[in-house]
Amino acid sequence: MKDHGTDEPRRSRLPSTKFWAWSVLWTLVLLPTWVWAQDAATQAMSVEYRDIPGIGSRNVIWVVAQQHLLLAGFVLGVPIFAWVCELVGWKSNEARYDKLAKEFTKLLTSAYATTALFGGILLFLLIGLYPKLMAYLSDIFFPSFLAYCMLFLMETAVLYMYWYGWDAMQGSKKWIHLSLGFLLNLFALGIMIVPNSWATFQASPVVVGDGTAIERAWAAMWNPTWWPVNIHRLIANVVLGGFICGAYAGIRYLLATSRAEREHYDWMGYVGNFIGVFGMLPLPFAGYWLMREIYQYNQQMGITLMGGFLAWLFILQAMLIGVLFLGANYYFWMGITYRIPGSEQRYRRPVLAMLIVLMVCLGVWMTPHSLVASLEEARKMGGTHHPLLGVFGVMSAKMTVSNLMILVTFMSFIMYWRAGKQETAAWARVAKSVMGALLVIAGIAVIVLGVWGYFVPAIIRINYFSVAQVLIVLFIMLTFTPLTAVLMKSARTTTEMVWGQMPIRAAYCLVSNAVMVILLMSLMGYARSSSRVHWHIYGVMRDTSDYAYSPALGYAAAFMSLNTFVFCLLVAFIFWVATMGDAGKKGPEQGQREQDPARVPEGMMPAMAGGSPGKDHHARAQVSGWDGVS
């Protein structure tokens, strides 16, 4: 018993066979693996950048990020007016609004997967090419990443229910479908707001103190430019979505083979252009608010944007916005001429006056502050500033003409709204007189404040005069719109509006407006990113890569054009996918088109941009009916 007692403790102290087996396995296999993993992690932490030979990491990020942002703008903008159209159709019991909303949503479903695809590609590229930057942002914003994922999942689920439940949720269940549309827009708004905080933090970072992860993420999200960018981007997305839907309608209008199709897509083009213009009018005000916040946050960043090498981008911006304003107004004027018989002569002079004002304002807006001149030319001018045109190159002149262009565009819409109608209210004449007087006073006040701005300090012009100009224009818009709506409610229709008679160049105008918006968003995206110069996060994390410089303007313009071209190809693909179902439905009817009395004459099929006088005459002649002339 004694020996047995002394043996038992000895065996308990000896390692078992299983222990030695695991020790050998750890030594031979797991330990080297663990050491390799530690070395790899240490090496990964030391890698700040990776590059793509031949193309460049920044160029790849530039293209992919721009495509994702443009697609996201379209996906976030379309649900807004699709839901509004559905709501209007439900309230007015007009089926065409519901049909229009469904066709808009059909474009949305085609673009949604493409947007998510580019978002995933962008995320993988950022993690692989800029690991240090993404590690820093992830450390701060991780709670918002989780919130973004939840919003994305909820939006996806609601979108599927909204689209596939459209026909099932009619009649007494329509309110359920409208509620889904509201939730879809609510989640889409959240999906836009959360990532905006990541981008604005890079341009206007704030001090992130100690606290919980949620507190630190919230402090970083609430940076000075977050809400200005949210408002600006929300309005820009509506503009983008409206004009792209207008371009879709224009293309379908050109390809229409029946009168019913032409009428439908003519009306759809009008709605898309209206939505684009409706969002475009307040967009410069949101941009002005954003620039004010940038200047207040960091004056040097504002000077880089407006007075440094990026200042020439705003001349290009003025040209693009000017072309967009002209295109939108021109479409309204063509609508008065071709959709409302008898209105051409009545509105010829007002249209000519508005065209002159727009062209003069565009010329002033495009005038640079400093001219690119040779040494001899500079000597003749007495410097880089032209003795006469130099006064038009400062912000006081540009704010004035931009507000005047907004007023003219708004009045084009009011004129189109009132064309073909006769007010019957007893107070209509007084109301029109008051509106005319207010318009004249507003125009004079905007000009006076603009001229006065040359003789006061910049701080007074920026904080008071420019704000007053904006408030004057907003007052006109917010006053005239409901007043005109009340007048038109009791107005007598003197000429019925005729759809499907617009000339071919109207469709090209819609496509041109969409291209201008895409170019404009690409341009301003580059400007906002380049304002950080050699910083990943302004003043916090310096860019130490080989691309720690702002690209030259010519190089940037080439990439803007490339991004616009690629996005137009993607949109064309989305249009094609959206119309595949329609083409399949029309297949059995192809053999009956020759006998269709409403078939579009061959002379009205697509032609080269600009059309021809003969086709304009043909379209004008068809106001009273289809004459079959080719």
Can you give the pLDDT at residue 582? Answer: 64
Contact 575, 248 (CB under 8 A): yes
With 0-12 / 13-18 / 19 or more C-beta atoms within 10 angstroms meaning exposed / middle / buried, residue 3 is exposed
DSSP 498: -
Can you give the pLDDT at residue 389? Answer: 74
pLDDT tens-digit map of 442-486: 999 999 999 999 999 988 988 889 889 999 999 999 999 999 988
pLDDT tens-digit map of 216-249: 999 999 999 999 999 999 999 999 999 999 999 9
Residue matched to tokens 């495009």: 366
Residue type at 270?
A: Y
Q: Cα(565)–Cα(209) distance, rounded to whole angstroms?
A: 44
Residue matched to tokens 């959240």: 190
Q: Cα(622)–Cα(262) distance, rounded to whole angstroms?
A: 13
Can you give the pLDDT at residue 495? Answer: 82
DSSP 624: G
Q: Cα(334)–Cα(508) distance, rounded to whole angstroms?
A: 12
**Which two three-digit tokens encode residue 370?**
């400093």
Non-local (6+) Cβ contacts of 61 within 8 A are: 122, 125, 126, 129, 130
Q: Cα(226)–Cα(221) distance, rounded to whole angstroms?
A: 7
Can you give the pLDDT at residue 35? Answer: 44
Q: Tell me the backbone φ, ψ of residue 521, rounded to 5 degrees.
A: -70, -35
Residue matched to tokens 């996806």: 156
pLDDT tens-digit map of 556-586: 999 999 999 999 999 999 888 877 766 555 5
Q: Cα(423)–Cα(426) distance, rounded to whole angstroms?
A: 9
Q: Tell me the backbone φ, ψ of residue 475, rounded to 5 degrees.
A: -60, -45
Q: Cα(59)–Cα(52) distance, rounded to whole angstroms?
A: 9
With 0-12 / 13-18 / 19 or more C-beta atoms within 10 angstroms meaning exposed / middle / buried, residue 314 is buried
Secondary structure, 3-state, 308-362? CCCHHHHHHHHHHHHHHHHHHHHHHHHHHHHHCCCCCCCCHHHHHHHHHHHHHHH
All residue ranges of the chain with pLDDT < 70 are 1-45, 384-386, 581-630
Can you give the pLDDT at residue 585? Answer: 59
Q: What is the pTM of this model?
A: 0.83
Can you give the pLDDT at residue 584? Answer: 56
Residue matched to tokens 């004057």: 472
Residue matched to tokens 């949620």: 214
Contact 338, 500 (CB under 8 A): no
Nearest CA-CA partner of 400 in 388, 411, 391, 413: 391
